[in-house]
Amino acid sequence: MTLQYWNTVPGMDQVVALWNKQNPKIQVQVKNISNDAYGTISNALKAGNAPELAQVGYDELSNYRLQNAFVDASSCSAAVAAKSDFVSWTWSQATFGGQGVYAIPQDTGPEALYYRADLFQKYGIAVPKTWDEYYADAKKLKAADPNLDITYFDPNNAEAFNGYLWQNNAEMYSYTNNKWNVTVQSPKSKQVADYWQKMISEGLVRTDLASFSTPLYASMEKDQVASFVSAAWAYSIVRDNLPDQSGKWAVAPMPTWGSSAASGDWGGSTVAFMKGNKHLYESVKFNLWLNTNPEALAMENKLGGLYPASKAGLNMPALQQGVPYFGGQKIFDVFKASSSKIDTNFTWGPTQKTVNLSLQDALAKAVNGNGTVYDALGTAQATAIKSMKDQSIPVSSK
């Protein structure tokens, strides 16, 4: 028999090829849908021909759950027993309040600061431990070289901004008594918004560069961007797109808010059991192998940059070695520490995609002087409430 598995991970075809070689009775056909992942999945669901398995981000699980896009694999004892194998917050999101097993966690996105060690040294910049220090460093770099910015702010990347909120315990949603409570615009989120508004207003960050874009890499190659905050999975993106800067980049803990040691998360995904799946036993067997087998996890990290959600995966040899591109630094030690400092109670709303689009639109206006970053959060909050009410989802706000 043959299973269909859709995903966006570079090199996943090689991982699946290893499975197929070892499991001739359960073959898997892999399809990369990175050009339009959620559009492709949604269209397949509407047409009734979804794959058995598909990669779905944590922030999209609630949305697809509302569409009855998943099947519950808890009838397979192996799926239920796997709970202890994964980082607790990832399992809770994949099971929906501890009920059912609709997906298996695949990777997470603990964040850290990627920085040009050579540029920091050149301009006498110590690696910042707090956001206040980062602001001071931004001013120092700009004074030393008007063409050099400490980082960039991409208004069209809500996921990145959400990571900043997550770090500051600015919870966007909670779910109690069968009702969603929306707190996108809160005092904690205001602290984050006001910080980036200050950086933007004072011209200390680039706002014309999209995350992981050709123009961004070109600016980095010209030594115009000195650092950026991103997730563990970004290490391979930097490595593959800036090969001439090997040995110049390093990784440090994400700057923190005062004495708080909390870190943030950006991204991460699951492998979900999709509606219409008639081969749950085989799907569970492959899914668990894919996300717990040491050889598979090592390949996924090396080829696709995935940072495993499985507890054992965090300690695998591949993540304890120095990375040549980063000057031999053991960068995954930094991400492991970051992973342990992420708020496990952070919750995504059931209309997160709609909210993200609204936030991005408002942020784009803010960087052009039409409103502020905090105003953009107000727009996102209003969108969250309206989008839930439009779908008759019980909702309130404080």
Clarify whether residues 213 and 274 are in a common domain: no
Retrieve residue 34's tokens: 């990175």
Retrieve residue 130's tokens: 């707090």
Retrieve residue 340's tokens: 């342990």
- Given this model, what pLDDT does residue 95 score? 85
Specify which residues 230 forms β-bridges with: 112
Of 299, 314, 339, at which residue does a domain stop? 339
Retrieve residue 198's tokens: 């200050």
Segment 369-390, tens digit of pLDDT? 999 999 999 999 999 999 999 9
DSSP secondary structure code for residue 261 in this structure: -
Give the pLDDT mean for 318-332: 95
Instruction: Check: CB of residue 193 under 8 Å from CB of residue 377.
Output: yes
Clarify whether residues 359 and 216 are in a common domain: yes
- Given this model, what pLDDT does residue 47 score? 95
- Given this model, what pLDDT does residue 343 score? 86
Instruction: Answer yes or no: is pLDDT of 63 > 90.
Output: no
Number of domains the chain contains: 2
Clarify whether residues 217 and 69 are in a common domain: no
- Given this model, what pLDDT does residue 88 score? 82
Segment 148-187, tens digit of pLDDT? 999 999 999 999 999 999 999 999 998 888 889 999 999 9
- Percentage of the chain beyond pLDDT 90 is 87
pLDDT confidence tier of residue 347, bands split at 50, 70 and 90: confident
Instruction: Check: CB of residue 395 under 8 Å from CB of residue 181.
Output: yes
Lowest mean pLDDT among 38-52, 81-95, 140-154: 81-95
- Given this model, what pLDDT does residue 313 score? 93
Clarify whether residues 7 and 141 are in a common domain: no
Clarify whether residues 15 and 79 are in a common domain: yes
- Beta strand 307-308 with 103-116 is antiparallel
Clarify whether residues 295 and 352 are in a common domain: no
DSSP secondary structure code for residue 313 in this structure: G
Token pair 């995350």 is at which residue?
211
Clarify whether residues 39 and 142 are in a common domain: no
Of 321, 339, 357, at which residue does a domain stop? 339
Segment 95-135, tens digit of pLDDT? 877 789 999 999 999 999 999 999 999 999 999 999 999 99
Clarify whether residues 169 and 302 are in a common domain: no
Specify which residues 253 forms β-bridges with: 112
CATH of the domain at 154: 3.40.190.10
HSE-CB at 326 with a 13 A cutoff on CA atoms is 20
Clarify whether residues 146 and 21 are in a common domain: no
Instruction: Answer yes or no: is pLDDT of 328 > 80.
Output: yes
- List C-alpha distances in Å: 247 to 119, 266, 333, 386: 12, 25, 18, 49
CA–CA separation, 150 and 134 (whole Å): 8
Clarify whether residues 248 and 120 are in a common domain: yes
Clarify whether residues 234 and 380 are in a common domain: yes
Q: How many other CB atoms are there within 10 angstroms of residue 301's CB atom?
A: 23
Segment 239-287, tens digit of pLDDT? 999 999 999 999 999 999 988 999 999 999 999 999 999 999 999 999 9
Give the pLDDT mean for 334-353: 90
CA–CA separation, 359 and 380 (whole Å): 5
| pTM score, whole prediction | 0.89
Instruction: Answer yes or no: is pLDDT of 62 > 90.
Output: no
Range of the domain at 175: 111-264+345-397
**195: three-class secondary structure by DSSP:** helix
Instruction: Check: CB of residue 168 under 8 Å from CB of residue 188.
Output: yes
Clarify whether residues 170 and 307 are in a common domain: no
* Environment class of 182 (CB within 10 Å of its CB; exposed 0-12, middle 13-18, buried 19+): buried
pLDDT confidence tier of residue 356, bands split at 50, 70 and 90: very high
**265: three-class secondary structure by DSSP:** strand
Beta strands in 183-226 (DSSP E): 205-206
pLDDT confidence tier of residue 398, bands split at 50, 70 and 90: low
Of 339, 355, 375, at which residue does a domain stop? 339
Instruction: Check: CB of residue 362 under 8 Å from CB of residue 375.
Output: yes
CA–CA separation, 83 and 2 (whole Å): 26
